[in-house]
Structure 1
Amino acid sequence: MTSLNGLGFSVTVLKVADNAILPLIDAPADAAGWSPAVRPENWARGIDTTKSEIKQEPPSQDDSTPSNLDLDAAFTITKLKTALNSLIVAEPQITKFDTIVGDGDCGLCLKTGAEAVLKHLESVSISGELDVVHFVRNIAQVIESSMDGTSGALYAIFVNALSSGLQDQSSSQKTTVTPKIWAAALQAALKSLAKYTPAQPGDRTVVDALVPFVNTLTETLDVQKAVDAARKGSDSTKGMEASLGRSVYVNAEGWNECPDPGAHGLVKLLEGFLEILN
């Protein structure tokens, strides 16, 4: 099995002591990562099994009850595009860090997700107001369907939980989303994320940047201070002994100068995302 965007390839050899196992390997299976076996009788038929057409469906129209929490569409989309492009530009640096302390795919996973969200934004109207819950929920669907790796799973969980946290802040009257509303929703999302990962600050993961950002925004309602806290949290991972993730298995030259790639990627997103929360 190939590794996503892996720099190289691997060969796995199975010693078969009993020929009865071969039909079992060829048997149909529902496991997502188990590709259909190519039977020996097809080897000489010139069948190309390397090509497959995967069509990515756009997110379904969100027809849930309006939240009455609004954002200016043009401002929001412009600033979000800036944030996503900030992350895309940072991909080579994130990838470099991940080749030192991980398996090399973090930057590309983040870039793939950012590009998919950018493509989705092209279909969103920039006139009038956006219902923030619908807007965030649709982005979560894009992340779920396009972003790979551990980063994809964590971002999908967090952004889905963020939309639910925003929904909890909704009211019967139209309201513009404020830093206080964002902070409450982010705290709810952080609590939800903790159900799926044991990562805590000090484990050398994206959480080292995420938690300081959310907590500082909650305490100060100052976005600049929150982003500064996220950057400080990311920088603190340089030389930090990893407790979770791929970095647990790696001990390479340059470790002390290298932040956790996921934390660094989040900071780059937040740096471009700064003005959208004001």
Structure 2
Amino acid sequence: MLNSLPKSRKRYLKPSVFWSIRQGFPRWLGLLISLTALVIPLLLWAVLSYGGWVTPIFLPTPTAVLQSGIQMFTQENLLLDVFASSYRVFLGFLVAAAVGVPIGIAMGTFYSMESLFSPIVGTVRYMPVAAFVPLIVLWLGLDEPTRVTIIFLGIVFFNAIMVADAVKFIPNELLSVAYTLGANRFDVLVRVIVPAIVPSIIDTLRVNVAGAWNYLVISELIASENGLGFRVIQSQRYLQTDKVLFTIAIIGLIGLLTDFTFKLLFNLVTPWAERTSA
């Protein structure tokens, strides 16, 4: 049949390096593209700021931002803000993982647990955390537990729903084989389901830790005296855009280091999933 078709109707897939779909990619080309993606915005920023196209109060020069950052570290104790915010994010993220991951495993494994938790998880995750701030302050006061709770509420439900979806993608045939080999329900849960979703759990935590940093600013609005979010708000109040940009850059740098740590953990714990993970 194919040989009888006109040549004009035959379609052949032309080889492509740049547009290849999961067929390998040169490392040097990937690094070059990543570097270009970083350099172009920096060049645009430099042209607009150094060229005077934008008022410094709206877009200071890279030099001004760097000088403000040095001043913040040497004279304004910015390092204390870094440690304070990192502690809050880490604690809220850790509690959200300890609560959300087991709930997600239970929801994805047992229909009874899905019926129990799904109405709560499915509803509350659409509610803005900022709307709960007055209640959290009323219940917990203005101390650190309030800030950690805001970060916790911001990501715990997403942890649960994403882990539950990962469990549901495990083929039923895999569970049937385990039962055939004599496994009971506890064995299937501990020795089949949990190991199968470890890569997805790590990926879920890696994605949602970014949400923890996003909710940091909201949490540090509440009677904070330190922290990166507090520093951003304070600098914005006095129109110190250079300090705002440097603080945001510090948060982004911490995020990149955190993401690299999770990728390293992923490769160490689940080397078999390295090539197939998104």
**TM more than 0.5:** no
Q: TM-score, normalised by structure 2?
A: 0.25
- Max radius of gyration: which structure? 2
Q: TM-score, normalised by structure 1?
A: 0.25
More helix by share: 2
